[in-house]
Every structure is written in structure tokens, then in C-alpha cells.
Amino acid sequence: QFGYEKGDANNVRALLEQMADIDNRRAAMVCTLVALRSAQDPEPLVAVGRVVGQIAREPVGSNGFGFDSVMFIPEFGQTFAQLPIEVKNAHSHRGRATAAMVALMRERWL
């Protein structure tokens, strides 16, 4: 078997091991949402949310999932996993994509 059993903790462990000797730890999380009114909709709505940070040297924090514990956000001076859930959700790549999609839906569909 190659690698680790799949799961958040093992994925974080694998990432940190692979980046152990890398000094440039800049990273981005990206979420792309697509909405269609129907299968025949000629123009889907596309919203992208992006957040730039750095991969921490070790996991910190217990809120969130996935890579939240190693995604350090300089704007907040913390990893996503250290932030209150409301702050994380508002500023994450998913939160930004969702806000952008809601704005597009209101602008074009309502």
C-alpha cells in the first residue's frame, strides 16, 4: 500500500512530511461553486473563493477539519482551526465562494 490510510489527520501528516524541508510555505485554498437553473441552462453561475496563507510546521487548533489546523492565515495570526467557527466560515475559501454565489444569484436570477 502506498502512503497512509485516508483521513484528515493522515492527510495533514503526509503534507507536513512532504513539506518538511520546504521553506516557502505559501499556499492557497480555493473553492469553485457552479449553479445551474436547469440542465439546459446556457449560462451557469460560477463563483470562486480563495484564501492565501502559509502551511504551518505543525497542526494547531481544534476547530474545523481537513487542512484547517495547518493553514495559517497571516491576516488573523492563527490557523483556521484556531479561529472561532463564525470567523472561519466567513473568511474561508468556502465562505467566500458561497457569499459570491449568493450575490450572483441575487443579481442574475431574482
**Domain boundary assignment for the chain:** 8-108
**Tens digit of each residue's pLDDT (9 = 90 or more) over 43-92:** 999 999 999 999 999 999 999 999 999 999 999 999 999 999 999 999 99
pLDDT at position 5 over 90: no
- Quote the percentage of the chain above a pLDDT of 70: 97
Among residues 29, 32, 27, 28, the alpha carbon closest in space to that of 100 is found at 32
Helices (H) and strands (E) in the chain, counts: 3, 4
User: Strand, coil or helix: what is 99?
Assistant: helix
DSSP, res 54: E
pTM above 0.85, yes or no: yes
- The CATH number of the structural domain formed by 8-108 is 3.90.950.10
